[in-house]
Structure 1
């Protein structure tokens, strides 16, 4: 009898799910590590707390999209797999998904993905995917197109930074037009995700007539979510993020329709490489747009 049961996630699953996530993605990074890449490191205590807070937010907002696989033979239903998805208006996205290495190849991932996709109820979908062969096979069989994405990393050459005008600090009163821009680019607004991100990250916006745009930045100045009506606005927003970055910076989730970001990164003397896929179903790849790994 199969000891692994797939069921809706509960709040008290979050710590066990975080441990499963940390172990799953650490092993995936080790397996896919390139020779030039640094040795993967375990998730920090602070990053673990952030993961739990973020997934707790998803669980509060749209609990029916949150699923876990638990080993009923272990104490307290130990989480061995997870699929956290969300519906936002007419769009579905997968925030995170994984199965512990020791439980892979047994159909657990398929059952989790089936549960998450049932929640989509036919909506167009988007998520950021690793290069794990088992996962990408499952995504393609579910009807998703896999678009290779790039990442740029390095220390910004400060002498390359241009003067950027027309930007200002953003706030809660910007969410309305930001959601309108989201709908134009990805078919649905971020809705409550904007309020959550505003509480933990810096928001910079452009309100220049027909050229609106916004970028969220984490404490390191990394652009974590960027949307704009035009590529030149998107470039200005990315330059602002690079100007505030400290030490080694990262720009990721760059797809081929967003080569404007490649041009900025190369001009700033960052190195370019490949990193996973943006998976979409029944929708184009958004542009000008840099997706967030969890909020898409």
Structure 2
């Protein structure tokens, strides 16, 4: 089995493999309360490829692929920010190859890239083999909740003190992230800008990216600010809303989602090492 650093030509193959692997895992773990499992849309696939190509620019030494006689067998992409935070972006093994040691080899290669970083994060599915691997690698595993459904618009809270953000706010956003998760994002904001509209607290206490179906990321220095931003994100939803990656450290987000009459379910885990789960915070699945 060949393991090497990922190259641009590998990215479309990795996108397809990840879609297959995550869809398979979702079918295996889906509960009645969960949204239906589904494949990526064409636009989401394109965004996945663009995001991963960005990691090859910023973190070429943190991205790995494995090939066997049948083609791409697995991959892992990871990144580090400001030499203080390493995070696992995406990690997948071709369905049918789990439990044979390939995942460990890929994860070990990615973790070596962040070996000198004091803080580590990852967001994972409910796959029991992967969870075992992460725990053995030293991660504390924190279950995530997710809320979904149509927002009850009669229960929306009027929000003041939130404005549209722009590139002029990047220094502020980096300062917030250093306080909440220990490292700035830098160029990752270019990718996040493609996921939704940037919203910023007028007093500089937090920000969020709001998509048509809810927040793709939210970070704030206090729960009051985070709550205002989340209500504004929900007010901008159109159709079915989804609020993912809510850890137990972020009960304020559950309160908002339940007040909006969203349904609650479980969704994977947040893994952290050398740090506590960030709060007030709703992380992005790939950019943490």
Tell me the distance in 1 between the aligned counterparts of 2:8 and 2:162: 39
User: Is 1:110 paired with 2:107?
Assistant: no
Q: 1:1-296 to 2 correspondence within 5 Å?
A: 4-71=1-68, 73-74=69-70, 78-89=71-82, 90-123=84-117, 124-208=119-203, 212-218=205-211, 220-296=212-288
- Following TM superposition, by how much is the alpha carbon of 1:47 offset from its aligned partner in structure 2, in angstroms? 1.9
Contact 1:172–1:195 at 8 Å: present in 2 too? no
Contact 2:195–2:216 at 8 Å: present in 1 too? no
- What is the RMSD of the two structures over their aligned residues, measured on CA atoms? 1.2
Contact 1:227–1:288 at 8 Å: present in 2 too? yes
TM-score, structure 2 as length reference: 0.96
Contact 2:188–2:287 at 8 Å: present in 1 too? yes
Contact 1:84–1:97 at 8 Å: present in 2 too? yes
After superposition, the C-alpha distances for 1:209-239 in whole angstroms (9 at most, x for unaligned) are xx61000022x14200100111010000000
Contact 1:17–1:80 at 8 Å: present in 2 too? no
After superposition, the C-alpha distances for 1:252-280 in whole angstroms (9 at most, x for unaligned) are 11111110001101110111111111100
- Following TM superposition, by how much is the alpha carbon of 1:37 offset from its aligned partner in structure 2, in angstroms? 3.6
Taking a change above 3 Å as real, the CA distance of residues 112 and 148 of structure 1, as seen in their structure-2 partners, is: same
Tell me the distance in 2 between the aligned counterparts of 1:250 and 1:281: 27
* Total equivalences in the alignment: 286
- Higher deviation after alignment, 236-245 or 40-49: 40-49
Tell me the distance in 2 between the aligned counterparts of 1:167 and 1:45: 32
TM-score, structure 1 as length reference: 0.94
